Each structure stands twice: as structure tokens, then as C-alpha cells.
Amino acid sequence: MEKRNPVIFLSQKRIEKSIALLHYIWPQHLTVEQLFSQIKILCEKNKCTASARVRLSFSNGNGGLYDGGGKLNYLIEAWSLDTSINDLNVNGMVTGFCPLVKKSCDHVANLKSASALTYSVAAQYVQQQKWNDCIILNHRENICETTIANLFWIKNGTIFTPSLTEGCVDGVMRAYLIDTIETITETPCRPIDLLEADEVFITNVIRGIRWIRSVENINYTNQLTSRLHQQYITSLF
């Protein structure tokens, strides 16, 4: 029996959860497994089976604000990626806090949606500061996520990440690490908690684990982060 890839399994579960939360009507003739078969076919056509970035977008109805309840539409896009993107970034990322936007913690905050204004504003701020990324706070002034990833920090050997109730995206790589490393603690985090951490890293399904070297000029090590990457990311890709 073929070994199930945990990231693919979690991606499928996230799709099912998101569609149900949005009350979209799933086509009777289509299953998530069939959808992923179509993704494989597209990657073969685009010659990116070795390493690819796949964007799967869903919409409901015909695009109007009150078109809900219509047929579910989906779009699959696939691009080739350099396999080195999954290597640990040895130089680390330079980051800081974004003061311009705050993310809400409503019931759709955990979804990865096309409503990207918050992230667009934050990304412009990153460019202005000449950083690699920035950390977005929620309306409670707690740590939420970055413009491109979920956030983790390490203190005294314990790994922490903001809970979903803090408004962060329910990322696939985040879910994979929490399922695999049972000792990860989900908890609210104030900016001062992050600045007092020993290590900080971010995760997303494209880049795996990325080490953050500094937040607001506070520097971090990467000993445990490097081991986590070797143990849990390298084997996936």
C-alpha cells in the first residue's frame, strides 16, 4: 500500500473544512481525491512534477456578492519550483512588527482567502523597512502570523505557536508540525514574549520551515530550528 503523505492528507482536510465553513455546495460528481488527481495531471502537463507550487482557488456562484448558493467553481494553477526552496535558510530572515494593520479573529480568519488587503499593506511595509517579512498582530495586540506564514517560537526547549483563536491562518504545515510534534503549545503571545524567545521560525507548505534571525533587531539562534527542519521537513520533500 502506498504511504500516505501527511501534508497532502492535511491539505485535503483543510479544503473540506473550508468548503463546509463557507457553506459552499460541493459538486456531487467530484471528490477531493479526484480534485488532487486533476492537480497531478496539470503538474504533468506543466512539467513540474518534481517540485511545484499549486494554487487551488474556489468561488461560489458567478462572482456577484449575493450569488451564494450557486455552483461551486474551482481553478487549478501550477508552476515549477526549484527544489532548493525547501532547504533551511542559513542566513535567517530579518523581520519586525507591522503597525499598520490588525487582523480580526472572526470565524473565517483561519481560512486562506483571496481577501489579501491586510497582507498587501503589510508586504509594502516590509519593502519600506527592507526586511524579509513582518509580523502581523491581531486586534487584541497579540501575535497572529506573518504576511506569508504561520509563526512559531522556542523558549527553554518548548515550542509555541499562536492558537487558531488568535486569528492566524490554519496552515497545512502548521497542522503537520502540531500533529507530529505533540509537545507544541498553542497559546496567545504578546510581542514581548516573542522578543524574549530563544528561537523563532515560520512555516508554510511551500517553504517548509524558515528560520527568523531577528525581530526588531533582537537576534535568535537556530539550533533546535535546524534540527526540526532536518527531522520533519527534509523527509517530506
Pick the CATH number of 93-233 from 3.40.50.2000, 3.20.10.10, 3.30.2310.20, 3.30.70.100: 3.20.10.10
Rg (C-alpha) for the chain, rounded Å, is 18
Q: Give the pLDDT band of residue 113 (cuts 50, 70, 90).
A: confident
Q: Give the pLDDT band of residue 116 (cuts 50, 70, 90).
A: confident
Tens digits of residue pLDDT in 211-235: 999 999 999 999 999 999 999 998 8
Q: Where in the chain is the domain with CATH 3.20.10.10?
A: 93-233
Amino acid in the structure at residue 236: L
Tens digits of residue pLDDT in 26-60: 888 889 999 999 999 999 999 999 889 999 999 88
Neighbouring residues of 35: CB distance < 8 A, sequence distance ≥ 6: 15, 56, 74
CB 54 within 8 A of CB 78: yes
- In DSSP terms, 151 is beta-bridged to 202
Tens digits of residue pLDDT in 137-193: 999 999 999 999 999 999 999 999 999 999 999 999 999 999 999 999 999 999 999
CB 215 within 8 A of CB 194: yes
Residue with cell 502540531: 178
Amino acid in the structure at residue 29: H
Q: What is the distance between the alpha carbons of residues 148 and 122, in angstroms, rounded to a whole number?
A: 10
